[in-house]
Amino acid sequence: MSHTIFLIIALVTTGIFLIQFVLSIFFGDIDADVDVDADISSVVSFKGLTHFGIGFGWYMYLVGNADIASYAIGILVGLFFVFAVWFLYKKAYQLQQVNRSEETDQLVGRECTIYFKQSDNKYTV
């Protein structure tokens, strides 16, 4: 019985992940605005819970037994999936480049690269 429950958890969460993946690839510009006044950590999210379900569900289904040690390892595998997703989102966020103006006196003593237009379609570094 528990073998079937773990298979259902694994299949449902994998299906949700695939739907999220396809929607983000092909329909990434869809936006929904929700106002929530709660402080929710970036680790605990719907995607995090989905990935926990994938790791936990597939591990428990593949192991096949439902003893305490298997549950503990399954929870650790699920948490590994959550933190792997968190780490990947953190690294992707670091790839963002924000251009902002700074005061000239704050730039004194800092290394930088300056680009300026020399002529039509030609820049000097």
pLDDT digits (tens, 9 = 90+) for 30-57: 555 555 555 455 546 788 889 999 999 9
Whether residue 124 has pLDDT greater than 90? no
Overall domain count for the chain: 1
Q: Are 75 and 56 in contact (CB under 8 A)?
A: yes
φ and ψ at residue 116, rounded to 5 degrees: -140, 150
State pTM to two decimals.
Answer: 0.63
Domain extent, residue 18, equals 2-124
CB-facing half-sphere around the CA of 30: CA atoms within 13 A = 7
Cα–Cα distance measured from residue 62 to residue 65, given in angstroms and rounded to the nearest whole number: 9
Q: How far is CA 118 from the centre of its chain?
A: 42
pLDDT digits (tens, 9 = 90+) for 6-33: 899 899 999 998 988 888 888 766 555 5
pLDDT attached to residue 29: 60
pLDDT attached to residue 79: 93
Cα–Cα distance measured from residue 27 to residue 29, given in angstroms and rounded to the nearest whole number: 6
